[in-house]
């Protein structure tokens, strides 16, 4: 489904601030796979998502989605097939527009050939949106004419999630989308996420800092560090893995780095 071949991304190339955010990374996702992505701050998780979405062009390598080479496709064109939810609830919605207007806009993805001068909001569409919102029992469906900016963070994330999946994307990218929510709401939004993904069998990648959640959700876990995939587990191996193992793996890697640094420093003396 998603095929990433040896991609590299270097920020501020040729300056003193040169930073390799993604290093010769390859990754392959099967259709319907739900992958959780973990890694420390600055590991390159969001950068990986940005590369897939086309926020920037990669410096090397190839990205294929459903056998189509999208490496040089513009961001908005990729968005037809890729849905994305950010950590910041403000990012995914237009705050001064109503819920139905936001949904109608997002629904564009499925109506590429519609007449641009057709009515933006029709009774039929509104009914369809309401019906979909009502399933999550958050009371949002009765507030279709409310400006999104007035909703709570959790409610906004649910609307954003729905906006991304109303027309089913080939790939769904979730970047710590419950991190800004309180535990109870986060739980609820997570449940809704699982429901939507399972129902539509969407290939999904989810970044999370919750190690327990990373093992309990989805079918595969990858760990990133300094722009490289340092762990990729699924199936039995993953089932037998505990949170402690994950933490240990993680610190082992860090320890190695630490040792390297020490060797480097001592050799300088």
Partner 1 sequence: MIELQYYLSNLPDGLIYGLLAMGIYISLRILDIPDLTTEGSFGFGAVVSVLVSLQGHPVLALFAGILAGAFAGVITGCLQTKLKVHPVLAGIITMSGLYSINLVCYSLTEKGATTNLSYDKNTVFEKVKELLGIRGQYETSVVKAVVSLGIVILVLCIIVWFFRTHIGLCVRATGDNPDMVSASSINVDRTKIIGLMIANALIGLAGAMASQSLGYSDINTANGTLIYGLAAVIIGEAILGKRGPAIGVLSAVLGSVLYKLIVAFVIRQNLFGEKSANLMKFTCALIVAITLAIPAIKQKAAESKQRKAAR
Q: What does the binding site for ligand ATP look like in residue numbers (CB under 6 A)?
A: 11-12, 19, 21, 39, 41-47
Other beta carbons within 10 angstroms of residue 215's beta carbon come to 19
Among 46, 50, 155, 178, binds Mg ion (CB under 5 A): 46
**Cβ 243 to partner 1 shortest distance, Å:** 33
Residue range at the interface with Mg ion (CB under 5 A); choices 40-48, 52-60, 62-70, 75-83 = 40-48
**Cβ 183 to partner 1 shortest distance, Å:** 27
**Which of 90, 103, 91 lies closest to 129, judged by CA?**
103
Residue whose CB is less far from Mg ion, 32 or 42 = 42
Question: Quick one: what does residue 19 bind among Mg ion, partner 1, ligand ATP, none, with the CB cut-off 5 to 8 Å set by partner type?
Answer: ligand ATP
**Which of 146, 140, 175 lies closest to 36, judged by CA?**
175
Among 87, 108, 210, 219, binds partner 1 (CB under 8 A): 108
Among 95, 134, 191, 216, binds partner 1 (CB under 8 A): 95
Residue whose CB is less far from ligand ATP, 21 or 158 = 21
- CA-to-CA distance for 108 and 59, rounded, in angstroms? 31
**Cβ 49 to ligand ATP shortest distance, Å:** 8
**Cβ 85 to Mg ion shortest distance, Å:** 13
Number of residues that bind Mg ion (CB under 5 A): 1
For residues 23, 24, 29, 34, the Cα torsion angle rounded to the nearest 10 degrees is -10
What is the DSSP code (8-state) at residue 66? T
Spatial strand order of the sheet with 171-175 comes to: 82-85, 171-175, 203-207, 34-38, 220-225, 228-234
Say whether residue 145 binds partner 1 (CB under 8 A).
no
Residue whose CB is less far from ligand ATP, 103 or 224 = 224
Classify residue 13 as left (phi > 0), alpha (psi -120 to 50) or beta.
beta
Residue range at the interface with partner 1 (CB under 8 A); choices 27-35, 68-76, 150-158, 193-201 = 68-76
Say whether residue 114 binds partner 1 (CB under 8 A).
yes
**Cβ 263 to partner 1 shortest distance, Å:** 44
Q: Are 27 and 221 in contact (CB under 8 A)?
A: no
Residue whose CB is less far from ligand ATP, 92 or 101 = 92
DSSP secondary structure of 92-109 = TS-TTSBHHHHHHHHGGG
Say whether residue 92 binds partner 1 (CB under 8 A).
yes
Token pair recorded at residue 167:
């027309």
Residue whose CB is less far from ligand ATP, 99 or 207 = 207
223 — phi, psi (to 5°)? Answer: -120, 135
**Which of 232, 172, 159 lies closest to 52, judged by CA?**
172
- CA-to-CA distance for 116 and 201, rounded, in angstroms? 31
Q: Are 49 and 208 in contact (CB under 8 A)?
A: no
Contacting positions for partner 1 (CB under 8 A): 74-77, 79-80, 83-84, 91-97, 101-102, 104-106, 108-109, 112, 114-121, 163-164
């Amino acid at each position: 489904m998603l095929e990433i071949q040896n991609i590299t991304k270097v920020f501020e190339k040729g300056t003193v601030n040169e930073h390799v955010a993604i290093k010769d990374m390859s990754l392959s996702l099967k259709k319907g796979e739900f992958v959780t992505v973990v890694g420390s701050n600055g590991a390159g998780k969001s950068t990986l998502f940005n590369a897939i979405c086309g926020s920037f062009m990669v410096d090397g390598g190839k990205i294929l989605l459903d056998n189509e080479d999208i490496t040089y496709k513009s961001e908005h064109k990729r968005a037809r097939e890729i849905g994305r939810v950010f950590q910041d609830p403000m990012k995914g919605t237009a705050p001064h527009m109503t819920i139905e207007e936001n949904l109608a806009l997002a629904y564009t993805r499925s109506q590429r050939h519609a007449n641009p001068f057709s009515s933006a909001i029709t009774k039929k569409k509104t009914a369809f949106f309401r019906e979909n919102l009502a399933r999550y029992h958050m009371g949002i469906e009765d507030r279709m004419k409310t400006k999104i900016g007035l909703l709570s963070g959790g409610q906004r994330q649910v609307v954003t999630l729905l906006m991304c999946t109303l027309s089913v994307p080939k790939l769904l990218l979730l970047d710590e989308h419950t991190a800004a929510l309180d535990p109870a709401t986060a739980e609820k939004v997570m449940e809704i996420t699982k429901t939507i993904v399972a129902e539509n069998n969407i290939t999904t990648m989810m970044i999370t800092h919750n190690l327990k959640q990373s093992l309990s959700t989805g079918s595969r876990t990858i760990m990133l560090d300094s722009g490289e995939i340092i762990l990729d587990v699924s199936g039995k191996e993953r089932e037998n893995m505990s949170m402690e193992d994950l933490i240990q793996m993680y610190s082992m890697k860090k320890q190695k780095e630490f040792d390297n640094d020490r060797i480097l420093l001592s050799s300088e003396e």
